[in-house]
Structure 1
Protein backbone atom coordinates (compact mmCIF):
# COMPACT_ATOMS: atom_id res chain seq x y z
CA UNK A 1 0.00 0.00 0.00
CA UNK A 2 1.33 3.44 -0.86
CA UNK A 3 0.47 6.37 1.39
CA UNK A 4 1.20 10.06 1.23
CA UNK A 5 2.04 12.24 4.24
CA UNK A 6 -1.02 13.51 6.09
CA UNK A 7 -3.34 11.56 3.77
CA UNK A 8 -5.56 9.20 5.73
CA UNK A 9 -5.75 5.51 4.87
CA UNK A 10 -8.20 3.04 6.34
CA UNK A 11 -7.38 -0.55 7.25
CA UNK A 12 -10.25 -3.02 7.65
CA UNK A 13 -9.96 -5.92 10.11
CA UNK A 14 -12.53 -8.70 10.20
CA UNK A 15 -13.18 -10.70 13.36
CA UNK A 16 -13.53 -14.47 13.16
CA UNK A 17 -16.81 -14.39 15.12
CA UNK A 18 -19.58 -11.88 15.80
CA UNK A 19 -19.62 -10.56 19.38
CA UNK A 20 -22.74 -9.80 21.44
CA UNK A 21 -21.29 -6.49 22.72
CA UNK A 22 -18.35 -5.64 20.45
CA UNK A 23 -18.29 -1.95 21.34
CA UNK A 24 -17.67 -2.65 25.03
CA UNK A 25 -16.21 -6.17 25.13
CA UNK A 26 -13.53 -6.03 22.44
CA UNK A 27 -10.58 -3.63 22.29
CA UNK A 28 -8.60 -3.47 19.04
CA UNK A 29 -5.64 -1.25 18.23
CA UNK A 30 -2.89 -1.12 15.65
CA UNK A 31 0.75 -0.17 16.20
CA UNK A 32 2.40 1.57 13.25
CA UNK A 33 6.21 1.48 13.27
CA UNK A 34 8.27 3.68 10.95
CA UNK A 35 11.63 2.46 9.64
CA UNK A 36 13.23 5.07 11.94
CA UNK A 37 11.83 3.19 14.94
CA UNK A 38 9.11 5.72 15.76
CA UNK A 39 5.86 4.01 16.78
CA UNK A 40 2.30 5.32 16.72
CA UNK A 41 -0.65 3.47 18.28
CA UNK A 42 -4.09 4.01 16.77
CA UNK A 43 -7.35 2.61 18.15
CA UNK A 44 -9.64 0.69 15.86
CA UNK A 45 -13.38 1.27 15.94
CA UNK A 46 -16.21 -1.19 15.52
CA UNK A 47 -18.07 -0.64 12.23
CA UNK A 48 -20.83 -3.21 12.57
CA UNK A 49 -21.08 -6.98 12.22
CA UNK A 50 -17.54 -8.42 12.44
CA UNK A 51 -15.75 -5.33 11.08
CA UNK A 52 -13.24 -3.09 12.86
CA UNK A 53 -11.47 -0.21 11.13
CA UNK A 54 -8.42 1.88 11.92
CA UNK A 55 -7.38 5.10 10.23
CA UNK A 56 -3.81 6.28 9.87
CA UNK A 57 -2.04 9.27 8.32
CA UNK A 58 1.74 9.33 8.10
CA UNK A 59 3.23 12.35 9.87
CA UNK A 60 6.48 12.09 7.88
CA UNK A 61 7.17 12.69 4.19
CA UNK A 62 9.02 9.48 3.37
CA UNK A 63 9.84 6.03 4.66
CA UNK A 64 8.41 2.60 5.21
CA UNK A 65 5.74 1.90 7.82
CA UNK A 66 4.88 -1.53 9.20
CA UNK A 67 1.72 -2.18 11.15
CA UNK A 68 0.54 -4.88 13.53
CA UNK A 69 -2.93 -5.31 15.01
CA UNK A 70 -3.78 -6.34 18.55
CA UNK A 71 -7.07 -7.55 20.02
CA UNK A 72 -8.10 -7.91 23.68
CA UNK A 73 -9.73 -11.27 22.90
CA UNK A 74 -6.88 -13.78 23.11
CA UNK A 75 -8.31 -16.36 20.69
CA UNK A 76 -9.21 -13.77 18.03
CA UNK A 77 -6.58 -14.94 15.59
CA UNK A 78 -7.34 -12.73 12.62
CA UNK A 79 -7.31 -9.40 14.47
CA UNK A 80 -4.44 -10.41 16.73
CA UNK A 81 -1.03 -9.98 15.09
CA UNK A 82 -2.29 -9.20 11.60
CA UNK A 83 0.57 -7.37 9.88
CA UNK A 84 1.12 -5.19 6.85
CA UNK A 85 3.35 -2.47 5.48
CA UNK A 86 3.20 0.71 3.44
CA UNK A 87 5.61 3.19 1.96
CA UNK A 88 5.32 6.95 2.24
CA UNK A 89 6.38 9.44 -0.40
CA UNK A 90 6.58 8.96 -4.14
CA UNK A 91 8.78 5.86 -4.18
CA UNK A 92 7.17 2.48 -4.92
CA UNK A 93 6.78 -0.09 -2.15
Structure 2
Protein backbone atom coordinates (compact mmCIF):
# COMPACT_ATOMS: atom_id res chain seq x y z
CA UNK A 1 0.00 0.00 0.00
CA UNK A 2 1.39 3.36 -0.96
CA UNK A 3 1.85 5.56 2.07
CA UNK A 4 -0.16 8.75 1.96
CA UNK A 5 0.40 11.62 4.34
CA UNK A 6 -2.91 13.09 3.15
CA UNK A 7 -4.96 10.45 4.93
CA UNK A 8 -2.93 10.74 8.12
CA UNK A 9 -2.88 14.54 8.05
CA UNK A 10 -6.65 15.00 8.04
CA UNK A 11 -6.59 13.76 11.61
CA UNK A 12 -9.74 11.67 11.74
CA UNK A 13 -8.19 8.21 11.52
CA UNK A 14 -6.19 6.31 14.11
CA UNK A 15 -2.72 6.01 12.53
CA UNK A 16 -2.00 2.75 14.35
CA UNK A 17 -5.16 1.26 12.89
CA UNK A 18 -4.13 2.42 9.41
CA UNK A 19 -0.80 0.64 9.87
CA UNK A 20 -2.52 -2.57 10.96
CA UNK A 21 -4.99 -2.35 8.06
CA UNK A 22 -2.11 -2.05 5.58
CA UNK A 23 -0.28 -4.98 7.18
CA UNK A 24 -3.33 -7.27 7.11
CA UNK A 25 -4.25 -6.19 3.58
CA UNK A 26 -0.77 -7.10 2.32
CA UNK A 27 -1.10 -10.59 3.84
CA UNK A 28 -4.22 -11.47 1.85
CA UNK A 29 -3.53 -13.99 -0.90
CA UNK A 30 -5.25 -14.36 -4.22
CA UNK A 31 -7.47 -12.10 -6.24
CA UNK A 32 -10.90 -11.09 -5.11
CA UNK A 33 -12.92 -8.39 -3.48
CA UNK A 34 -13.29 -8.46 0.25
CA UNK A 35 -13.92 -6.10 3.12
CA UNK A 36 -10.26 -5.09 3.43
CA UNK A 37 -10.12 -4.33 -0.30
CA UNK A 38 -13.17 -2.10 0.05
CA UNK A 39 -11.68 -0.13 2.94
CA UNK A 40 -8.37 0.35 1.12
CA UNK A 41 -10.22 1.42 -2.04
CA UNK A 42 -12.27 3.91 -0.04
CA UNK A 43 -9.12 5.35 1.55
CA UNK A 44 -7.45 5.61 -1.87
CA UNK A 45 -10.49 7.48 -3.21
CA UNK A 46 -10.42 9.79 -0.20
CA UNK A 47 -6.72 10.45 -0.85
CA UNK A 48 -7.48 11.35 -4.48
CA UNK A 49 -10.27 13.68 -3.33
CA UNK A 50 -7.97 15.42 -0.82
CA UNK A 51 -5.30 15.89 -3.49
CA UNK A 52 -7.71 17.16 -6.15
CA UNK A 53 -9.44 19.63 -3.81
CA UNK A 54 -6.17 20.63 -2.12
CA UNK A 55 -7.79 20.47 1.30
CA UNK A 56 -5.85 22.19 4.09
CA UNK A 57 -4.25 20.26 6.93
CA UNK A 58 -5.84 20.42 10.36
CA UNK A 59 -3.22 22.24 12.38
CA UNK A 60 -3.39 22.90 16.09
CA UNK A 61 -5.74 20.05 16.94
CA UNK A 62 -4.75 17.64 19.70
CA UNK A 63 -4.93 14.19 18.15
CA UNK A 64 -3.31 12.16 20.90
CA UNK A 65 -4.36 8.55 21.17
CA UNK A 66 -6.60 7.47 24.01
CA UNK A 67 -6.92 4.08 25.64
CA UNK A 68 -9.98 3.49 23.47
CA UNK A 69 -7.91 4.13 20.33
CA UNK A 70 -5.39 1.51 21.39
CA UNK A 71 -8.15 -0.97 22.25
CA UNK A 72 -9.84 -0.41 18.89
CA UNK A 73 -6.51 -0.88 17.09
CA UNK A 74 -5.87 -4.15 18.94
CA UNK A 75 -9.40 -5.40 18.31
CA UNK A 76 -9.29 -4.43 14.63
CA UNK A 77 -5.89 -6.06 14.22
CA UNK A 78 -7.25 -9.31 15.65
CA UNK A 79 -10.36 -9.33 13.48
CA UNK A 80 -8.34 -8.36 10.40
CA UNK A 81 -5.73 -11.06 10.97
CA UNK A 82 -8.37 -13.74 11.56
CA UNK A 83 -10.29 -12.63 8.48
CA UNK A 84 -7.19 -12.79 6.27
CA UNK A 85 -6.14 -16.14 7.74
CA UNK A 86 -9.57 -17.68 7.16
CA UNK A 87 -9.79 -16.20 3.68
CA UNK A 88 -6.35 -17.51 2.73
CA UNK A 89 -7.12 -21.00 4.11
CA UNK A 90 -10.45 -21.30 2.31
CA UNK A 91 -9.02 -19.93 -0.96
CA UNK A 92 -6.54 -22.81 -1.16
TM-score, length basis structure 2: 0.27
* Higher share in strand: 1
Higher relative contact order (CA 8 A, sep 6+): 2
Which of these two proteins has the greater Rg computed from alpha carbons? 2
* Higher share in helix: 2
TM-score, length basis structure 1: 0.27
